């Protein structure tokens, strides 16, 4: 993945407002849900017992934001009881600016600190979700395809249309990645002379046909975290990204490759902070990946990027978040933004991820393509964004800057800067004539960061068209296809469980009937 490290230096970099997931936010969703297009969908059926067991559980605390300066906030923890007697979900996100000033910096609690959630027996074994090795020396990591046969599945019925879209988004991402990997870094003129038309072996990385790069690996890390933690846990997400970086966790070839500069810098910073934290609080370094003390985790600063970092890697792994939280659009949108900013510090990344996350939610809810690409999409879904304006660079895209008939000749570029990447992916979706194959190949044949542009396209297009409309001639060669199919079921199931934990409290009603 070729990333652009620096964002737009002409604009001041301000940290986002970050947490508004209070009881008021959750309740507000009820008031707006009646107008949501998501009511077009049918009700999902879940027949299992309570939630799956926490391999790594989630614990959150809601934050009350107080302004401390232009574009910055101070976060004051304010716990909210949301769950039944089996678990307590809290939400806590902090602003990185606090750590710069040396103040306490609350973050989401680490997953092991969550109360155990009672489950049915078939959910008790999810060993496939954590890192495993073939040897005691931990030199050969178990790859995703090795888990396909031993993976269990939720013993619950998941709405078929929703599952079709979730699988379409996850697998669509991987297909785009695999198609683009063959010619990654190739300039446009090379693709004009040698256009990609099919999956190929060899190319830039010497991969076997259907294998994917860092883009899909990080998306699988994120999806695994959501399933393992039964919710959003940025600390655990960073741990899994670190596993990928160090050991090749979720890699198609067993080691980390094609890592972007911004991602590498952030993960190195995360490792440095873990070491510092372990020393300060007398914690064995080997225990830091399973940190379970909620009070300690509130002190860990999860925002590991410098300001001004605006690489496209935040978008390429995004899909699992809106796929998991789609029943609660405002939460899905907020978490989408945060998921990007833990490794990319520019505020334009936060808004690019919020906007694209909202598009994926809308696609899952069955909105027609004309509405997804409507220049007024943001204004029609303003409540999903908490009525907080988008960064001007993202607002321009939301108003249709990508709608250029000439494509590359009209200025569309598949570059490492997140704005360029978002614009290119949406151009491919807008111009694909309702064909995933045509759109993904158009994204690849723009040249440059071919795998990432196509992977970003694949998330939205896959959610819109659904798994059933992805080309079978490519699916049959896709690496770890069954793993992604099953993982998608877990995303759907755990998202349903997350919904029920909140619904059962009476705090608020779900925003959709999905």
**What's the start-to-end Cα distance of the chain, in Å?**
35
Q: Which one has a higher pLDDT value, 104 or 468?
A: 468
416 part of a folded domain: yes
Query: What pLDDT shows up at residue 293?
Result: 81
Strand locations in 28-97, DSSP E? 63-69, 72-77
Could you list the residues known to form a binding site, using ranges.
213-215, 449, 451-452
Largest CA distance in the chain: 63
Rounded mean pLDDT of 454-466?
A: 99
Least confident interval from 36-45, 247-256, 467-476: 36-45
Q: For the segment 260-289, what is each residue's pLDDT rounded down to a tens digit?
A: 999 999 999 999 999 999 999 999 999 999
Strand locations in 9-167, DSSP E? 63-69, 72-77
Does residue 452 surpass a pLDDT of 90?
Answer: yes
Least confident interval from 65-79, 177-191, 208-222: 65-79
Does residue 441 surpass a pLDDT of 90?
Answer: yes
3-state secondary structure of 202: strand
Question: What whole-number distance in Å separates Cα of residue 398 and Cα of residue 423?
Answer: 9
97 part of a folded domain: no
Give the Å distances, CA to CA, from 209 to 31, 55, 349, 416, 480.
49, 33, 32, 24, 12
Query: What pLDDT shows up at residue 480?
Result: 98
Contact indicator for 60, 108 with CB cutoff of 8 Å: yes
Token pair of 487 as six digits: 């993982």
Strands 72-77 vs 63-69: parallel, antiparallel or unpaired: antiparallel
Provide CB contacts within 8 A for 3, sequence distance 6+: 260, 261, 262, 263, 311, 312, 313, 416, 449
Q: How confident is the model at residue 157 (pLDDT cuts 50, 70, 90)?
A: confident
Question: What whole-number distance in Å separates Cα of residue 470 and Cα of residue 458?
Answer: 10
Give the Å distances, CA to CA, from 495 to 14, 20, 182, 246.
32, 20, 34, 29
Least confident interval from 175-184, 270-279, 286-295, 415-424: 286-295
Query: What pLDDT shows up at residue 262?
Result: 92
Rounded mean pLDDT of 470-495?
A: 97
325 part of a folded domain: yes
Could you list the residues known to form a binding site for Mg(2+), using ranges.
213-215, 449, 451-452
68 part of a folded domain: no
377: domain CATH number is: 1.10.4080.10
Question: What whole-number distance in Å separates Cα of residue 279 and Cα of residue 99?
Answer: 18
Tell me the chain's radius of gyration from C-alpha atoms. 21
Least confident interval from 291-300, 327-336, 429-438, 440-449: 291-300
321 part of a folded domain: yes
Does residue 391 surpass a pLDDT of 50?
Answer: yes
Rounded mean pLDDT of 92-118?
A: 34
- Total domains in the fold of the chain: 1
Looking at residue 382, the DSSP 8-state letter turns out to be G
Query: What pLDDT shows up at residue 338?
Result: 97
Query: What pLDDT shows up at residue 3?
Result: 58
Question: What whole-number distance in Å separates Cα of residue 12 and Cα of residue 33?
Answer: 35
Handedness of CA 369, 371, 372, 374 (dihedral sign): positive
Q: Which domain holds residue 191?
A: 23-54+138-288+297-505
Q: How confident is the model at residue 135 (pLDDT cuts 50, 70, 90)?
A: confident
What is the residue-averaged pLDDT of the chain? 80
Query: What pLDDT shows up at residue 407?
Result: 96
Provide CB contacts within 8 A for 139, sequence distance 6+: 133
343 part of a folded domain: yes
Rounded mean pLDDT of 187-216?
A: 96
CB pairs under 8 A, 24+ apart, for 373-379? 373/400, 373/403, 373/426, 373/429, 373/430, 375/399, 375/400
Least confident interval from 109-123, 379-393, 427-441: 109-123
Does residue 9 surpass a pLDDT of 70?
Answer: no
Looking at residue 319, the DSSP 8-state letter turns out to be T
Rounded mean pLDDT of 341-354?
A: 98
Question: What whole-number distance in Å separates Cα of residue 332 and Cα of residue 82?
Answer: 17
């Amino acid at each position: 993945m070729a990333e652009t490290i620096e964002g737009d230096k002409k604009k001041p970099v301000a940290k986002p407002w970050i947490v508004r997931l209070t009881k008021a936010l959750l309740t507000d969703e009820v008031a707006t849900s009646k107008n949501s297009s998501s009511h077009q969908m049918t009700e999902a059926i879940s027949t299992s017992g309570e939630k799956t067991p926490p391999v790594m559980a989630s614990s959150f605390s809601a934050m009350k934001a107080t302004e401390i300066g232009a574009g910055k906030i101070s976060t004051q923890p304010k716990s909210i009881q949301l769950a039944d007697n089996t678990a307590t979900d809290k939400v806590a996100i902090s602003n990185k600016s606090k750590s710069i000033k040396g103040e306490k910096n609350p973050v989401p609690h680490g997953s092991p600190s969550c109360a155990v959630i009672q489950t049915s027996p078939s959910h008790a074994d999810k060993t496939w979700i954590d890192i495993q090795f073939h040897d005691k020396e931990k030199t050969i990591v178990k790859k995703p395809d090795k888990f396909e046969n031993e993976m269990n599945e939720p013993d619950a019925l998941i709405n078929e249309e929703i599952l079709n879209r979730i699988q379409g988004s996850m697998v669509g991402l991987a297909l785009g990645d695999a198609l683009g990997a063959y010619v990654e870094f190739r300039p446009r003129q090379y693709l004009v002379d040698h256009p990609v038309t099919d999956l190929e072996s060899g190319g830039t990385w010497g991969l076997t046909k259907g294998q994917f790069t860092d883009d899909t690996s990080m998306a699988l890390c994120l999806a695994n975290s959501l399933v393992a933690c039964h919710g959003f846990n940025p600390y655990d997400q960073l741990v899994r990204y670190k596993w990928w970086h160090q050991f090749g966790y979720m890699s198609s070839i067993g080691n980390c490759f094609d890592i972007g500069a911004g991602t590498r810098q952030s993960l190195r910073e995360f490792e440095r902070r873990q070491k510092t934290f372990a020393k300060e609080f007398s914690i064995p370094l080997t225990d830091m990946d399973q940190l379970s003390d909620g009070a300690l985790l509130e002190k860990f600063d999860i925002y590991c990027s410098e300001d001004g970092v605006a690489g496209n890697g935040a978008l390429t792994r995004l899909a699992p978040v809106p796929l998991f939280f789609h029943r609660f659009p405002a939460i899905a949108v907020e978490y989408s933004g945060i998921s990007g900013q833990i490794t990319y510090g520019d505020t334009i990344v936060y808004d690019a991820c919020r906007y694209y996350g909202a598009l994926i939610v809308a696609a899952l809810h069955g909105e027609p393509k004309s509405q997804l690409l409507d220049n007024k999409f943001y204004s029609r879904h303003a409540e999903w964004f908490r009525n907080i304006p988008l960064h001007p660079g993202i607002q321009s895209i939301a108003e249709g800057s990508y709608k250029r008939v000439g494509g590359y000749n009209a200025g569309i570029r598949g570059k490492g800067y997140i704005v360029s990447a978002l614009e290119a992916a949406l151009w491919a979706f807008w111009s694909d004539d309702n064909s995933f194959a045509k759109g993904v190949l158009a994204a690849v044949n723009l040249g440059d960061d071919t795998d990432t542009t196509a992977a970003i396209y694949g998330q939205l297009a896959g959610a819109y068209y659904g798994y059933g409309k992805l080309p079978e001639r490519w699916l049959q060669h896709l690496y770890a296809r069954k793993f992604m199919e099953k993982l998608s079921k877990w995303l759907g199931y755990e998202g349903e469980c997350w919904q029920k934990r909140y619904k059962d409290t009476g705090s608020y009603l779900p925003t959709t009937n999905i």
